Copies of this chain bind each other. A is one copy, B any other.
């Protein structure tokens, strides 16, 4: 017979051992226990357990992730916009005619809000003007070098260190369970491809994004591809389901977003038959990251937030649900 004192000691010990064991096996250590964490784990268990009614074969386990504000920080501005403004300032002295264009003038002055008045298309127009005339490979080298040498103004870290640790854990959990993860971003596809493999273990062909026209040609006896300033495809809002159908060719079963630009994608994914997961990352943690939704220039979130309960979408509170925010310590 075990004394009451001894049994209390064991009882006191047991949770600690259980916590240790759980931590070792826990695929989501940066997620605090709660309805969102449980919804994630329940969904994964439901679609990956053979014999269960919601089982989905591995080939059909497709998950899509918005990038800006869902996988990495998007304040004080989209990283790609900061990159474009940097490029414009670098190239402006050699292009005096740019002073005649109101949006380019705002860009040279660093007025991000004026630049963003044109929305995703305005941003892409600027990107096209300043990043055309080169091959996709040359552009990715420029973007990669910029990312390797530029730091965020608040944290003084490279942008690729400002990816969300809890989302890296979701990506790894799904990958380990036979999912194929795709980024479906309003940003330029070649910009995201410049860092997706290093930052997220997502290869270039699993990145869907906006794009410029590419013109094939020949120079010095070699096939060339040249980026044109003309927008070919805007992978934002209603464009996201189109990009998914075009690039992935199969309706995903899980979608993660954070803004109204993801509303169509969240609907397209969660309106499919069978068990689905729609998840919205709500930025409500000004201390550790930022707090914004309805009034933000970047990542504006109104309709998707209002409709989330009726549509069964999980709204993740960064403040409550995430024990840690960034991948960098």
Write out, one digit per residue, whether chain A residues 203-245 have a CB within 8 A of any chain B CB (1) or not (0): 1111100010010100000110100000000000011011001
A59 neighbours in B (Cβ, 8 Å):
197, 203
- Within 8 Å of chain B (Cβ to Cβ): is A247? yes
For the residues of A in contact with B, the DSSP-based class is: helix
Q: Which residue in chain B gives the minimum CB-CB distance to A137?
A: B251
Task: Please tell me which stretch of A1-9, A263-271, A283-291, A297-305 contacts chain B, meaning at least 4 of its Cβ atoms lie within 8 angstroms of it.
Answer: A263-271
Minimum C-beta distance from A261 to chain B (A):
13
Q: Are A205 and B249 in contact (CB under 8 A)?
A: yes
Assembly CA distance A196 to B271 (angstroms): 26
Interface size class, chain A: 35 or more
User: A223 and B137 in contact (CB under 8 A), knowing A204-B249, A241-B216?
Assistant: no
Among B205, B248, B271, which residue has its beta carbon within 8 angstroms of that of A223?
A: B271
Assembly CA distance A21 to B136 (angstroms): 46
Q: Which of A214, A246, A264, A268 has the most CB of B within 10 A?
A: A246
Q: Are B249 and A214 in contact (CB under 8 A)?
A: no
A246 neighbours in B (Cβ, 8 Å):
189, 211, 214
Assembly CA distance A207 to B245 (angstroms): 12
Minimum C-beta distance from A186 to chain B (A):
15
A189 neighbours in B (Cβ, 8 Å):
246, 249
Assembly CA distance A216 to B244 (angstroms): 12
In the A-B complex, the 10 residue pairs with the closest CB atoms: A204-B249, A216-B238, A223-B268, A205-B248, A193-B249, A223-B267, A222-B271, A214-B242, A136-B245, A204-B250
- List 20 contacting pairs A-B, 8 Å CB cutoff, sorted by A: A62-B205, A136-B245, A137-B251, A180-B203, A180-B205, A189-B246, A189-B249, A193-B249, A204-B250, A205-B247, A205-B248, A205-B249, A207-B249, A214-B242, A214-B246, A216-B238, A216-B241, A223-B271, A225-B268, A247-B247
Point out residues on A near B: beta carbons under 8 Å.
59, 62, 136-137, 180, 182, 189-190, 193, 197, 203-207, 211, 214, 216, 222-223, 225, 238-239, 241-242, 245-251, 264, 267-268, 271
